Amino acid sequence: MLRLSAFRTGPARLALALSTASLLASLPARAEPPKPAMPPETAAPGPQSAPSVGVDTLKPGKPAAKPYLSEAAAPDTVKILSPPPASHSPLENADRAAFNTTRGLKGSPRWDLAASDVAEGASAILDTYACVLGTKIDAARVPAVINLFERARLDIARGTKAPKLHYRRLRPFVGNDAPICVQRTQQLTDSFSYPSGHATQGWSYALMMAALVPEKTSAILARGRVYGESRIVCGVHWLTDVAAGRTNGAAIFAALMGSADFRADMDKARAELAKALDGKGPAPAEAICTRENDVLAAPALQF
């Protein structure tokens, strides 16, 4: 069992890395990954998961509104994040152990949830939290919420792009044919791995949603954690990519809170969301919520 929470402290990192020694001894010898050149496609068609942040999903092909933060106010996420693990280091070995062992989750309810968590963006986040909120919210009913999330997405995109291009870390599926929960594409391969854009966006949105519906804070943040861990289960990110994504998302949210425009839009969204949670909306599917609750109750990345 690998637990993402074990990466929160230095001693815990070393303890986890040492605990994987026996497993790593049985893994195939590590081959250096090729430079971004996509192997022949063998995966069946499936959902795409290359980040689309920076595009207005409500008006495809058109730029979204301007970011909340100016270049000067935006956090330097390259400076904030530590570099990804060095080659053959204990942390990189633990990353590889997590990737190899979570391939065994294919076909499980956890795999299915990870595949559904591929969806990202303002409208998708409402579906992500439907079980937590107890109702499905039509995006048309909450334009202020959608505007808040779509505009913040541009700040999230900028804060994710810089470290991705700086470190250019390859994704875990490059150079092997292990199963992943999405279609292998050149676009996904070239989008780089560190930090996870989905985890960054997911944690930023989780923090926003918790501030919008404070009475559901614990449940919202737990779901936001699982959303990020789904990227490890999917096989498209290393464990440390997701941990860095949470740090990245928290840094971007903190910077956003310094924007008067962002705070004003948060107030509008909070009032709007309170009206939408009037108990009159349709309930989410019971089977989906049962699956989600089972994952939330289990230790992180248990298989």
> Can you read off the two tokens belonging to residue 267?
């107030």
pLDDT of residue 165 exceeding 70 = yes
Q: How far apart are CA 223 and CA 34, in angstroms?
A: 35
Asked if 241 is an active-site residue, the reply is yes
Asked if 231 is an active-site residue, the reply is yes
Q: How far apart are CA 91 and CA 9, in angstroms?
A: 12
pLDDT of residue 53 exceeding 90 = no
Catalytic entry in 151, 198, 223, 246: 198
Q: How far apart are CA 226 and CA 228, in angstroms?
A: 5
Q: How far apart are CA 243 and CA 4, in angstroms?
A: 7
Catalytic entry in 13, 223, 231, 246: 231
Catalytic entry in 153, 223, 225, 237: 237
pLDDT in tens, 170-189: 999 999 999 999 999 999 99
Give one DSSP letter per residue of 230-280, joined into a string: HHHHHTSS-HHHHHHHHHHHHHHHHHHTT-HHHHHHHHHHHHHHHHH-SS-
The per-residue pLDDT for 121 is: 83
Q: How far apart are CA 164 and CA 167, in angstroms?
A: 6
Taken in order of first residue, the domains within the chain and their CATH numbers are 87-297 (1.20.144.10)
Q: Per-residue confidence at 63, pLDDT binned at 50, 70, 90?
A: low
pLDDT in tens, 254-284: 999 999 999 999 999 999 999 999 877 899 9
Catalytic entry in 95, 117, 155, 241: 241
Dihedral sign computed on CA atoms, order 155, 221, 195, 84: positive
pLDDT of residue 38 exceeding 50 = no
Q: Mean pLDDT over residues 3-13, rounded?
A: 40
